[in-house]
A and B are shown apart, each in its own frame.
Chain A
């Protein structure tokens, strides 16, 4: 079984690659549509802006083929890899996302002495039991770094929520597709457990 980590030229792919290899799974960096076909599961990591993510995917011919693969293979989107699943983001309103979720990604509200970006460890409250959160207790802390997030979403797609001044959706779910706003590859043991569950997940 091969886990493909999509490299579109602008993300922290190596930390994800290191974590997957540490867990003993075979990881491969994917840079084109052909590579995407050859793998069994997809991880899309990401840091930066939604617009640059979408444009880089398009530039590398990956946008359409990724959209197609989403109907076939288990997918884990991390940070921007979650956001790109939405129809659009306030961060770059002109760039259309993969539209798995018709809602939009919004800027986190700045209230009082709340710091934006939301950076650090925060609690994840799971709203569903799923193979992927097996053995991970509710309220476990995961590591976050982001300024935008999903706030409105159909209840059936909300996997977990987290509070930073306001409540946002820290993980989303649709059939074989999972998106997490936190960074499991940087969240110590619970993060590694989460990634291990994704590796072992059978659909």
Chain B
């Protein structure tokens, strides 16, 4: 009896539809968000993550409608990220049905946001997302969807946001993202041993072994993946079977 490893499918949403594309290009429609989320729930997803990929001001009301539609159908933890800049953004997302919010760029531009948000809403609902790329022996943090390089290194930055009150770290390896060559287990393992809060590994999932390794070698508490689930290359059920075979405890799909 112990805490199970979490499998988190991620939906990229634009204009109220799930979209899939490669490096934000060739974007194609992949269905209604609430229907896709419900399907993942039935397949045994442990949480659902939704990323608002063009979180412009105009799109905000569409996003909230989408969040509500998912929350009315899916009764597992639900994280929403994209374009969160201030306390009020978090408040409306939580009121619309998100259980957690994922903050990336704004956390770097204004670290106090993490502190204020975790005091106001509790650490459990503040996820800090980090995009990083390996440079020499260190991993540099990038903002704005990987466009702008910062002077921060991923491990120090993760420790800092943990101190500020973040409840979880969602670590995306930019080197691995989209490559289907496996998660960055070296980075994740270093982070996992430095952090006290849970670590969600993201970027690089391509095979069942990758998911197993992210937990066994990378020591992640949860694994996030998008395309392998969208394209139905691997089912969540199959992932859980494989994890069990490797003596990693999972939630049975009862």
Is A130 among interface residues, defined by CB-CB distance under 8 A?
Answer: no
Residues in A with CB closer than 8 Å to B4 are 120-122, 141
Interface of B is mostly: loop
Residues in A with CB closer than 8 Å to B124 are 47, 117, 119, 145
Residue ID in chain B nearest A23 by CB atoms:
B75
Q: How large is the interface on B (under 10, 10 to 19, 20 to 34, 35 or more residues)?
A: 20 to 34
Q: How far is the CB of A14 from chain B (nearest CB, A)?
A: 6
Interface centre among B3, B6, B41, B193 (most CB of A within 10 A): B3
Knowing A145-B124, A185-B75 are in contact, say whether A120-B99 is a contact too (CB < 8 A). Answer: no
Contact check: which of B71, B168, B197, B254 meets A15 at CB < 8 Å? B71
Knowing A15-B97, A115-B197, A119-B124 are in contact, say whether A189-B1 is a contact too (CB < 8 A). Answer: no
A-contact 0/1 string along B159-194, CB 8 Å cutoff: 000000001100000000000000000000000010
Is A32 among interface residues, defined by CB-CB distance under 8 A?
Answer: no
* A47 pairs with B254, CB closer than 8 A: no
Is A38 among interface residues, defined by CB-CB distance under 8 A?
Answer: no
Contact check: which of B2, B72, B252 meets A18 at CB < 8 Å? B72
Q: How many residues of A contact B (CB 8 A)?
A: 37
* A162 pairs with B76, CB closer than 8 A: no
Interface of A toward B, CB cutoff 8 Å:
12, 14-15, 18-19, 22, 47-48, 110, 113, 115-123, 125, 137, 139-141, 143, 145, 162-164, 185-192
Interface of B toward A, CB cutoff 8 Å:
1-4, 6, 41, 46, 71-73, 75-77, 94-95, 97, 99, 122-125, 167-168, 193, 196-198, 221-222, 251-252, 254
Q: Beyond the given A121-B4, A122-B2, A188-B41, could you list 4 further A-B residue pairs with CB under 8 A, ordered by the A residue number?
A: A12-B99, A115-B198, A122-B3, A143-B77
